[in-house]
Chain A
């Protein structure tokens, strides 16, 4: 029997029972739609996160204390001395600049408003490394650093909360842990980042933070080092130089580094892995609904086989072989799932679009991306679901004895 003719006939049969076919298709539509939407959202999240990381700059290294891969005894903290050693152009020729960081939380108040924010103490080079730009005022200066100045650069979120405006805030005084600081600059909004919102932070000179705001038990201890490398290509070289210097200074045994050097690429690969797992997880949950839709197909096909026992008997009496009946029912179930799959792709695209719009409206630009792969996967998977769940009912139909089937009431 000719396949095109069989497809037309299958469509006619499904059309003959619109409500039932429609509901069965709906099960697949929801399944495929959910899978597509979840994959799109996962992909969008991945794009956003990797974009945010890349936005910081591709030639950065981050050094933190402690080894994150294995246990090391008595890890030595990073110090300003380490930072100065790495900044030495003879010891580490591929390092352009080093910014030591010390971070903590503090309560800040101004005009009667109080909020708890993240306080970072660092050096002027940090601003360039982070690609920060200013709404108004200036970044911290070398003078601020050397003079232990009570100067602060604040994020736009802080300005909103404390002053209810972003203009003319420079020159105002805010209190950090009760101590007065003069606002010298306001950062432009960067939105949420990997380390929480960067809009709700304040940045003060390293010396000021160290002496007056964030107390560490060890002299000149720093939490992290940001290192700018001369070029993206030189990142592996610079990583080795930094490791050499720190190993010497910390006198670590071979293979027992008590610090961790991360590059931008490391962060990217971690983020990609995490969002990839997240996407698979979401897609897997959505896949369950596709499975349920498939069981719906099987159920309805079994009902259909029982209802049409006489028809099957008749077709066999007229010369239909086992294969003809098998193909007829397989085509019917595949049509159900294929139509469901196509509508589901549209639904998934629509859901992704809605989520994207909601995310944009709430200030987090986010583009759910529907890849061609996802569409192919969903189409193939739904057709496979139709075939798989159609096999048992179709086999049952094809195996009917013509005499028994014709006698069936």
Chain B
């Protein structure tokens, strides 16, 4: 049964110490996500959706609770092991693209491969990923020479290049106009259909959430409803 879940989280809690006050960013979240599923995480600001995404993406560890990502129990891992999990299993897409401005699109896409250790044919894999997002002719351009939509495509290629189990997109269309935003979303959904990559999108936008298979609503650190 557990093999079906690419993400299996039980009673995740995250407590931040803000001075003398304890803040419960997550107050016991449980959720399961199937391989190949497209899920949206929604909720007002302060509802804990960023915290949830950080924990699901292994950027942060929960204060308590159980989390199994693609068959690996995460909550006991060291920093370096977490880095390794992020590298192999998770692809991140950020609202503000987060590309390295000094290097070319190709080098940006190659970066996760370089942290992966001994990977053969890094350049070819990076090229293939860029071609998959439709930027085959922009490989040697720097991010400043690309439009917002193109930059986000580079970021998607970078997220894809290590063939991760899940892709985490934090407001992927937030910095783009609606037309380009739609193209990016279509690209992500197409990748999900073609490659079966699990896709988790954190968003405010109900129109985007409507195109996913399932929506997890968060409020005050708790799952409010799951559709």
Interface residues of A (CB under 8 A from B): 1-2, 5, 9, 12-13, 16, 310-311, 314-324, 401-403, 406
Contact = CB atoms under 8 A, between A and B. Distances in A.
A315 B111 contact: yes
A276 to B, nearest CB: 48
Contacts of A323: 80
A315 B115 contact: yes
16 contacts: A13-B102, A310-B98, A314-B98, A317-B59, A318-B92, A318-B158, A319-B83, A319-B84, A319-B86, A320-B115, A322-B79, A322-B80, A324-B115, A401-B60, A403-B59, A406-B94
A13 B102 CA distance: 7
Contact of B115 (A16, A310, A311, A318): A318
A16 B115 CA distance: 22
B210 to A, nearest CB: 28
A351 to B, nearest CB: 36
Contacts of A401: 60
Contacts of A9: 103
B115 A319 contact: yes
A403 B58 CA distance: 10
Contacts of A322: 79-80, 83
A406 B96 CA distance: 11
A318 B102 contact: no
A314 B94 CA distance: 10
Contact of B114 (A1, A12, A310, A311): A1
Interface string B104-119: 0000000110111000
Indicate the member of B60, B111, B114, B158 with the most A CB atoms within 10 Å.
Answer: B114
Interface residue SS majority, chain A: helix
Given A314-B98, A322-B80, A1 B115 contact: yes
Contacts of B59: 316-317, 402-403, 406
Contacts of B83: 316, 319-322
B54 interface: yes
A311 B79 contact: no
A201 to B, nearest CB: 70
Contacts of A324: 115
B54 A403 contact: yes
Contacts of B87: 318-319
Given A321-B79, A321-B80, A321-B83, 9 more contacts: A12-B102, A316-B83, A319-B87, A319-B88, A319-B115, A319-B116, A320-B83, A321-B84, A322-B79
Contact of B100 (A1, A311, A316): A311
Interface string B47-68: 0000000100101100000000
Contacts of B103: 9, 12
Nearest to B102: A16
A13 B94 CA distance: 23
Interface in B83-140: 83-84, 86-88, 92, 94, 98, 100, 102-103, 111-112, 114-116
Indicate the member of B88, B100, B116 with the most A CB atoms within 10 Å.
Answer: B100
User: Which are the 6 A-B pairs with shortest beta-carbon distances?
Assistant: A319-B87, A319-B115, A321-B83, A321-B80, A318-B112, A314-B98
